[in-house]
Structure 1
Amino acid sequence: MKSTIYKISFIATAIPIRLLASVTGQKAIFPFYHLISDDNVAHIKHLYPVRSTKAFEKDLDFFLKNYNPVELDVFFKLAKSGKFPKKNIFLLTFDDGLSQFYDVIAPILQRKGVPAICFLNSAFIDNKDLFFRYKASLLIDKIINKPLSLTQEKEIRKIFVDNSILIRDNTQAILSIDYAKRSLLDDCANILALDFSDYLNTQKPYLSSNQIQELRNKGFEFGAHSIDHPLYSQLDQAEQIRQTKISVNDISESFNIQQRLFSFPFSDVGVKKDFFDTIFDTSHSIADITFGCSGLKKDICNLNIQRIPIEIEQFSAKQIVYGEYWYYILKMLVNKNVLKR
């Protein structure tokens, strides 16, 4: 439904954002991306659309025209107090700690005077390991560029069948592999002679510790994004808390970060209120603020901030933000704008 609203949102873009923000009471928005690049990024290209630098700058111009960029300290005080901002504000965030944040994104943001938070998976910093979905994209890229031999096809199909993956299309079968079965991606890579370690060493898809510290010195903020990027709804609560605690502690201690920020990998859908009660328990809190990605929406857990995903098909930030406001207004009619847990 949202995609349809994004498509037709241009009809109502003559209505000022300030009016929509006033009607909905949503004067703060939290757009998020993963990376910006003009290159062909093999570990991303088969997962979601990559924003070009030109499209990103156009997005930023839209945000800056309609909202004031906010520093983390200001946002932190607002979030902790539960107060609404008097002016429209936006806080930009980026997930996965990819190297393009250093090479491409930060220089653009500095030039335009926009602060941002980058969320890191503690297991991937310094290119120590690779997110299982990125492995899937690399496998697909390998198959497309070099079709499987009959022997390879037979061996890979055996892996799928033995693990109850009955999808006939190899690409879709690879994309269906989840966190619990992620080792199968390594098995497939062995058959295809695809070396993930070599890719990490040569392409360096993630930020290094030195780059993170340099970006910190320039005013950019960082938070945690779990240890190795599982889908939280597929974990039991003990593992959800372990992933959160270890990653937040690692990031905070490694880079001397005071505010303990956390963004959920994939999504926070399905995460129960008990989880938030535990991590926000004032006697032994694990995080100060967390971030989901359900769009323009309130959360019954006030310190869990919902962000707006921008990497959706080829929609511009303008289309997405307008669409989010109109979707919010529709939901207002049935009182469905608060995430229950």
Structure 2
Amino acid sequence: MEFSKIKPFLKNRLTSVFYHIVSERPSILVKNLYRPRSYEKFKEDIEFFLKNFNPVSLVDIENNIENGCPLPEYPLYLSFDDGHCENYQNVVDFLLKRSFPATFFVASSTINNKKILLPHLKSIIIEKMKTIKISQLKKLARELNMPIRENSKGDLLKEIKSVRNYSTDDTLKKIANIIEIDEDEILKKNAPYFSEYDLLCLKNRGFTIGSHSHNHFKFSTISDECQAEEIGLSISTVRKISGEKKVAFSFPNSGAFLNDEKLEKWAIEYSISCFFDTSKYRPNTKIRINRISFDKSMGSNAEPEKPADNIIRDTYIEYETRSDK
């Protein structure tokens, strides 16, 4: 089925897409997690969006939610998660050239390169495992209480990849220490995240800044109290930088398990304009807007990048054919 066949169904439906990082050469922080969109394909995406949709800003969405101001036909919203500084060099000038609005959602603990997020630490660990010393390999196996074949990295890599702790679990920190990963040195050398100055520049150039939690913990793995703390810390930090009374929030991984009643309570308590989730074309609500990821999964490494029309088409069909929609 061609995109043109499903396009009419998107006329009065907000399509929201997001990227983590646009890059020709994935950094060590993400190369073992997913495949970022290439710059050339990203430019093609933007041209496709401009031809088939009407870009809307976060302010447009907030006015629609709060004041009932209508969105244009075929509305499309663009955002970026995790606060990768590389996006400043790779996408900002092009978006300005094409007058395309966007929001950059940042995990506040990373601002000014103070901390490496756990998912990114996991990618760094997997990369370091490729050159790990036998002595470190054996020590790591002992610490993880894991019997392995002599000199085998495969078993340990499988174990590390299975760690799902985008939460407070210290397993990844322990592994990084054993195999001598210096997080401070990586942050100092690469400065992979936005600084406060970068965020102010983005704001001054017409983009909006949102919250992506404080530590990027997976909300389904942490307590209610920790969820509230993650939101409160991040919202207050972003508000101080952006100067906005209300701040939008995008969930790390997913907030699909949280009901709208809880989101509405948080919205009032922390002055949040709206929440962004990752459930693709699942219908939006008054408080929650779902987005489509344009990152490429690790499992599809050898496949070429899909064009934007195929991603939108396939995502829409996937939702419409679900039995639990």
TM-score with structure 1 setting the length: 0.85
Q: Is the 8 A contact 1:34 1:98 kept in 2?
A: yes
- Counterpart residue number, 2:81: 95
CA 1:84–1:293 in structure 2 vs 1: closer, same or farther (change >3 Å)?
Answer: farther
Aligned AA (2:9): L
Corresponding residue number in structure 2 for 1:20: 9
CA shift at 1:151, angstroms?
Answer: 1.6
What is residue 170 of structure 2 aligned with on the other side?
183
The one-letter code sitting in structure 2 at the alignment partner of 1:160 is L
Q: Which residue of 1 aligns with 2:302?
A: none
Q: 1:194 Cα shift?
A: 1.7
Inter-partner Cα distance in structure 2 for 1:210 and 1:217: 10
Amino acid aligned to 1:152: Q
> Helix, strand or coil for the counterpart of 1:214?
helix
User: Which one of 233, 241, 245 corresponds to residue 246 of structure 1?
Assistant: 233
Structure 1 position 329 matched with structure 2 position 285: no
Gap regions ≥5 residues in structure 2: 147-152, 298-304
Amino acid aligned to 2:273? D
CA distance in 1, matches of 2:295, 2:99: 22
Structure 2: distance between partners of 1:46 and 1:92: 24
**Aligned equivalents of 1:191 and 1:292: distance in 2?**
35
2:221 maps to amino acid? Q
SS at structure 2 position matched to 1:46? coil
SS at 2:108's partner residue?
Answer: coil
1:288 to 264, 273, 276: 273
Q: In the alignment, is the contact (CA less than 8 A) between 1:241 and 1:275 conserved in 2?
A: no
**Runs of 4+ in structure 1 over 6 Å off:** none
Say whether 1:194 aligns with 2:185.
Answer: no
The match for 1:4 is: none
My pick for the range that moved more, 289-298 or 103-112, is: 103-112
Are residues 182 and 203 of structure 1, via their aligned partners in 2, closer, same or farther at CA, if it must alter by over 3 Å? farther
Q: Which residue of 1 aligns with 2:114?
A: 128
Q: Which residue of structure 2 aligns with residue 315 of structure 1?
A: 306
2:40: which partner in 1? 54
- Give the aligned length: 311
- Opposite residue 21 of structure 1, the aligned amino acid is L
111 and 169 in structure 1: CA distance in 2 versus 1, 3 angstrom threshold: farther
3-state DSSP class of the match of 2:104?
A: strand
Instruction: Please name the residue that 1:112 is paired with.
Output: 98
In structure 1, how many angstroms separate the alpha carbons of the residues matched to 2:233 and 2:62? 22
1:255 alignment partner in structure 2: 242
- For 1:110 and 1:261, the matched residues in 2 are separated by 21
Q: Secondary structure of 2:29's partner?
A: coil
Listed as ranges, the gaps of 5+ residues in structure 1 are 1-10
Counting aligned pairs with the same residue, the percent is 25
How big is the shift at 1:195? 0.8
Q: How does 1:122-271 map to 2 (within 5 A)?
A: 122-144=108-130, 146=131, 148-161=132-145, 169-177=155-163, 178-180=165-167, 182-271=169-258
Using the TM superposition, give the Cα deviation of residue 82 of structure 1 relative to its aligned residue in structure 2, in angstroms. 5.5
SS at match of 1:298: coil
SS in 2 for 1:113: coil
For residues 223 and 161 of structure 2, the distance between their equivalents in structure 1, rounded to whole angstroms, comes to: 23
> 1:159, 1:184 within 8 Å by CA — same for their partners in 2?
no
- Does the 8 A contact of 2:116 with 2:187 survive in 1? yes
